[in-house]
Amino acid sequence: MKKGMFVGLILAGVISAVFGVLAPLHEIWHWLAAFLLGVEARIGWDITYITISEVTLFIGFAGMFGEVTILTLIMIKFASMKYFKLSLYIFGYSASYIIALFSFLFLGFVPIDIEVMLGNYDKWIVYSIFGVFMFYYIFVLLLQIITINCFKTSIFPELFAKRVQEKLNYIEKKAKAEENKYKPLTLVK
């Protein structure tokens, strides 16, 4: 794989996340949390409707925690199956949370899940749990980066083949220089 394709696949994942291409991966976790609490819910492509007026913290944060967990597991599975293009796309999709984090911290953009929970709970509770989520997100993102690093020789075989050939040429050149450096002494009678 070329470096341009590597970056392009990650960028395609980020752009897909901005447009919610895999949004049901997030919403299914809201629905599952509501189901576990006995709350009737309907799932749409990018929103989950519940029948109670107050969204619990469990339902609200289930989407974020569930999505990054499932994306990480899918990404690692694709990498282990050597579907590197899909794996890099999923990595880009999950890396899009970085954009949301910076938008939240520096631009004042509040994700809809956080906004709904802020309407029902004290902001310190919501922000504290969001902080826990960010630590968890950093952990799973590092896990994804480590996975990519483990498979880098498979992702970039031509790059590593070129480096190995350069090392072999260097060793061969050095061996010839050493060979010519030490000539055996001959005895003259």
Query: Tell me: the pLDDT tens digits for 122-154?
Result: 989 999 999 999 999 999 999 999 999 888 878
What does the pLDDT look like over 53-70, one tens digit per residue?
777 889 889 999 999 999
d(CA 55, CA 118): 10
What sign does the CA torsion over 95, 99, 104, 105 have?
positive
- Residue 189 is predicted with a pLDDT of 59
Cα 38 from chain centroid?
Answer: 32
Low-confidence ranges of the chain (pLDDT < 50): none
- Residue 3 is predicted with a pLDDT of 77
With beta carbons less than 8 A apart as the criterion, state whether 111 and 100 touch: yes
The residues facing 50 across adjacent strands are 41
Tell me the HSE value of 187 on the side-chain side, using a 13 A CA sphere. Answer: 1
